[in-house]
Amino acid sequence: MTAVVAAMTFVATSANAAEKVYRLKLAETWGPNFPIFGDTTKNMAKMAEEMSNGRLQIRIDSANKHKAPFGVFDMVKSGQYDMGHSASYYWKGKVPNTLYFTSMPFGMLPTEQYAWFYYGGGMELMEKVYSPHNLMSFPGGNTDVQMGGWFQKEIKSVDDLQGLKMRIPGFAGEILAELGAKPTNIAPGELYTSLERRTIDALEWVGPSLDLRMGFHKIAPYYYTG
């Protein structure tokens, strides 16, 4: 589950005496051509401009430009950007409760999660968590149930996790740490090279469809469902 985080205020500029054009800046965690996620923000910006007859224009700055893939929360909160597209487990150290609004082990399926957001009080709870930071958050895409990850070596028992350096954020990372692994976080644009160069021993990303586009199957022989 990805999220769109927006500041509660933004600036309008006059196009003429009758109408205003709203120009917003969006920071994303991903690169400009990142599979699926990069397309999501581009499509959203295009739809917003079309539906507003050009009055709502969103400029997208990828991680390649702002150089802070894990800094989206802070950049929007400080007013540097009007909104951002990311995953809330990237700022769990600042606001731990935001973990419940993204993917988590033994969590909800996409339909269940959306039902909770829109009919079970999830949106209200998310507003309560973000409002002290003068931010609003909205569901910004759902990646479905995530897999266990790609590994350079076969995992036969818990003993094989001891000292294993793995890119895996959020609750899943905390669970693996309890089992002896060493979870770490790596910017999405650096995942492939980190695994290829064996800076890490394993990584968890999303699922078969997106992972195939990332090419992880070319550099890691073992894939587990979790």
Output the domain CATH number for residue 52: 3.40.190.170
pLDDT tens by residue, 11-68: 555 555 468 999 999 999 999 889 999 999 999 999 999 999 999 999 999 999 999 9
186 and 219 belong to one structural domain? yes
Provide the number of structural domains found in the chain.
2
1-15, 106-120, 163-177, 194-208: segment of lowest average pLDDT: 1-15
Question: Does residue 121 sit in the same domain as residue 198?
Answer: no
Task: Report the mean per-residue pLDDT for the chain.
Answer: 93
Q: Strands of 202-203's sheet, edge to edge?
A: 182-184, 165-167, 202-203, 149-151, 222-224
Asked, for residue 23, whether it belongs to a domain, the answer is yes
Query: In the chain, pLDDT over 70 holds for what percent of residues?
Result: 95
Q: What is the pLDDT of residue 16?
A: 57
Same domain (yes/no): 133, 171: no
Query: How many Å apart are CA 76 and CA 81, to the nearest integer?
Result: 5
| Ramachandran assignment for 58, one of left (phi > 0), alpha (psi -120 to 50 degrees), beta (any other) | beta
Task: Identify the residue with better confidence: 201 or 15.
Answer: 201
Tell me the longest C-alpha to C-alpha distance in the chain.
70
Q: What is the mean pLDDT of residues 93-105?
A: 91
Report pLDDT for 19.
Answer: 83
The answer to whether residue 144 is domain-embedded is: no
Which domain-ending residue is among 139, 159, 182? Answer: 139
In terms of domains, do 131 and 162 share one? no
Band of pLDDT at residue 124, cut at 50, 70 and 90: very high
Q: pTM here?
A: 0.90
pLDDT score, position 103: 86
Coil, helix or strand at residue 225: coil
Helix axes 122-130, 110-119, angle to 10 degrees: 70
54: phi then psi, degrees, rounded to nearest 5: 85, 0
Are 161 and 74 contained in the same domain?
A: no
pLDDT value, residue 105: 86
Clarify whether residues 127 and 28 are in a common domain.
Answer: yes
The verdict on 113 and 66 lying in the same domain is yes
Q: Please provide the DSSP assignment of 171-198 as one string.
A: HHHHHHHHTT-EEE---GGGHHHHHHTT
Per-residue pLDDT band for 145 (boundaries 50, 70, 90) equals confident
In a shared domain, residues 135 and 153: no
Nearest to 191 by CA among 224, 218, 154: 218
Q: Which of 85, 108, 139 represents a domain boundary (last residue)?
A: 139
For residue 135, what are the domain limits?
3-139
